[in-house]
Amino acid sequence: MKRNIKWTVLSLVILFALPLLVAKFAGTSGMALCFIMFFAVNPVFFIAEGIASGKSIKRHWFMPLLSALIYLLSMWVVFDMGETAFALYSGIYLAIGIIVMLITSAIYY
């Protein structure tokens, strides 16, 4: 249970608070920081979460799904509601998390 709360809070910080801070305070370098988050920070986060979820897949199978949902909702709140590109990124991040989770689960069992 503690692990679920830890990953949920980490998801909220990385996938909601960071984009919100970038959008509000970054100024002219905001787009560069968004690209770094989209192509580096978020995939690494989903890989790490997939590894952690794969170690105990029976209890944490939903964490990549929850994080992808948090990402999608936060991008719609911070940037543009209903933008389909964010739904595509959310699906890609979800696929990364699930694939890594299944690979990790296969290695551990």
* 47 band by pLDDT with thresholds 50, 70 and 90: very high
What is residue 1's predicted lDDT score, i.e. its pLDDT?
A: 67
The C-alpha atoms of residue 81 and residue 32 are separated, in whole angstroms, by: 21
More confident residue, 72 or 2: 72
Sign of the Cα pseudo-torsion (99, 31, 36, 15, in order): negative
Would the pLDDT of 71 be above 90? yes
Q: What is the pLDDT of residue 109?
A: 78
Structure pTM? 0.90
Of 20, 22, 48, nearest in space to 34 by CA: 22
Determine the pLDDT at residue 23: 84
According to DSSP, residue 1 is labeled -
- Residue 78: per-residue pLDDT: 86
